[in-house]
Amino acid sequence: MSGEVQIELVSETYNPLVERRELVFEVSSPAGTPKREVLRKLISQLLHVDENLVYVKKITSTHGVNKTRVRVNVYKSVERALKFEPKHIIERNKPKEEAKEEE
């Protein structure tokens, strides 16, 4: 699937107070909207950062078009992310295995 997915950076802002990069990507995929965990992995590889520092905030798809807009926060450390990201965003971005273990 990753060979077919194209990712383009639309905007990037640095928030010095929170020490994070706030990014917007446009993702094209003939297979439809990629899963959050796939997006995290692809974006972390693209930015050359640890996957644990990447938090997918919002995924917006338009019906009938194979383009998805993805809002992402990239932190300097996991501690900063846990301090500033809402709990539900942290939960959504956990790997499936980790989320199941906690249940």
Q: What domains appear along the chain, each with residue ranges and CATH number? A: 6-102 (3.30.70.330)
- Per-residue tokens: 59: 């995924």
* pLDDT tens per residue, range 51-100: 999 999 999 998 888 899 999 999 999 999 999 999 999 999 988 776 55
Distance CA 73, CA 46 (A): 14
Query: Which residues 6+ apart lie within 8 Å of 7 measured at CB?
Result: 25, 26, 27, 42, 43, 46
Task: Report which of residues 32 and 44 the model is more confident about.
Answer: 44
Banded model confidence at residue 3, pLDDT cuts 50, 70, 90: low
